[in-house]
Chain A
Amino acid sequence: MVRAKDLDLVAPDEVVIEKIEPKLQTSNKIDNNMKEFRQKMYDVLGHTKHSLSSFLVKPKSFKFTEQDDQEEIILVMRPHWFTNVSWVITTIFMLMVPTLARFLPVWNGVPLRYQMLGILFWYMVTLAFALEKFLSWYFDVFIITDERVIDIEFNNLLDKKFSEAKISMIQDVTSMVAGVSQTMLNYGDVRIQTAAEIPEICFEKVPNPDKVIKVLQMMRQEEEQEAIDGRVR
């Protein structure tokens, strides 16, 4: 009888130890595989050169409100820098207008104080125009995290739109590079069809659409693997 009691005390521990060891080994193996997989993904994406870049790979300082504690940002994109060229040229032209106005006979008929006020007002309008365009570009961000894709739009300083879809909900990804500038500078639209409430998320005029598609494909594979391993958050 005594022997049976001892066995009861010892046996459960032995069994538990036998079960834990393979589990730990498996989880370490999965973690290593995950790290390798992520590294491959970052190799595809390359490195970010500047914090104001349109293609921020694994940004250290970038955060957004809806981000979960464990959520890792893989890629942040803004429209390609070339999309800013048109408003920059317009701004330069607007800055030159007061100088050109001096040559108009009508302008010389306006009292000096109103000329001064008019010029000041014009420069302010120019500043506002440039600021609005810059802010629309700066806050128009597309984010790919390890869990979802997010599109934050900021139009005309008054509209804010937030749309997201889980990576596992992505059904189809297509890219479109059209026109001379897009072909030359390698930027275009990436359209993501989802099974979520928002049927489509579009990353407009983003750099390297081919890399974005490749990464989304890898992310979907990773997500599928996570589901198989039972590691879905």
Chain B
Amino acid sequence: MLPDLSGYFLILERIFAIIGTGLYLIFAIVIVKQVSMMSKNVYDKFNGVVIVVSYIHLALAVFLMLMSIIWP
């Protein structure tokens, strides 16, 4: 008789979710960093909006990371 592996699969899924969202968070941080750097190099009217969007994106990435950890 095979043992019940569903518990292990759930743990595995969670680990993958945390790794995935963690990588995504790093990507979001890189975007913020690059946008700030490029906005200093090339200044235009619309830069402010782009910086705000990159920070919103980072906030969403943090939220997603927390969701993958906290979600029951």
Contacts and interface: CB of A to CB of B under 8 A. Distances in A.
Interface of A: 51-52, 59, 61-65, 113-114, 117, 120-121, 124-125, 127-128, 131-132, 135, 138-139, 141, 152, 154, 157-158, 160
Contacts of A63: 42-43
Given A120-B64, A128-B27, A113 B72 contact: yes
Nearest to B71: A113
Contacts of B53: 131
Given A131-B54, A131-B57, 17 more contacts: A52-B46, A61-B44, A62-B43, A62-B44, A63-B43, A113-B71, A114-B13, A117-B64, A117-B71, A120-B64, A124-B24, A124-B60, A125-B24, A152-B41, A157-B34, A160-B37, A160-B41
B17 A117 contact: yes
Contacts of A124: 24, 60-61, 64
A152 to B, nearest CB: 6
Contacts of B45: 51, 61
B24 to A, nearest CB: 6
Given A117-B71, A121-B20, A124-B24, A139 B40 contact: no
A121 B16 CA distance: 12
Contacts of A160: 37-38, 41
A204 B41 CA distance: 20
A139 to B, nearest CB: 5
Contact of B30 (A61, A141, A158): A158
Contacts of B64: 117, 120-121, 124
A117 B42 contact: no
Interface string B10-24: 000100010011001
A181 to B, nearest CB: 25
B24 A128 contact: yes
A132 B31 contact: yes
A139 B45 CA distance: 13
B30 to A, nearest CB: 6
Given A113-B71, A117-B71, A154 B31 contact: no
Contacts of B72: 113
A29 to B, nearest CB: 36
A112 B37 CA distance: 40
B38 to A, nearest CB: 5
Nearest to B53: A131
Interface in B37-72: 37-38, 40-46, 50, 53-54, 57, 60-61, 64, 67-68, 71-72
